[in-house]
Amino acid sequence: MPDMYATQAMAHALPLAQELDPDKVTPGALGFVVFAVMAGGVWLLMKSMNRHMGKVDFEEAPAPAPARSSASAAPSAKAAGPAPGQSDTE
């Protein structure tokens, strides 16, 4: 007799299962929880990165001073040949 009750319960549950669209799949509560945890992790990483970037003290080094004057550098530039885009006649 107990089998009879199980089959009756299945008979009542079967129409409910057939009402669902088999082509429609949703992530459900577990998908939402996983997405929320990942979003929270990304938010915490961004917050930490912003804090660490705020601690960086970057000052650009000044340009190095030329070792020679421009008059003495001109003959060596002529000996190397014309610069790209310039002709020999200049």
Q: Cβ neighbours of residue 18 under 8 Å, at least 6 residues apart?
A: none
Structure tokens of 54?
């705020």
Q: How far apart are CA 18 and CA 21, in angstroms?
A: 8
What amino acid is encoded at 33 in this protein?
V
Q: What gap in Å lies between CA 48 and CA 55, rounded to an integer? A: 11
Using DSSP's 3-state secondary structure scheme, residue 22 falls into: coil
pTM, 2 dp: 0.42
Query: pLDDT digits over 1-45, tens only?
Result: 555 666 666 666 555 556 767 788 788 999 999 999 999 999 999
Percent of the chain with pLDDT over 90: 30
Decide which of 39 and 83 is more confident: 39
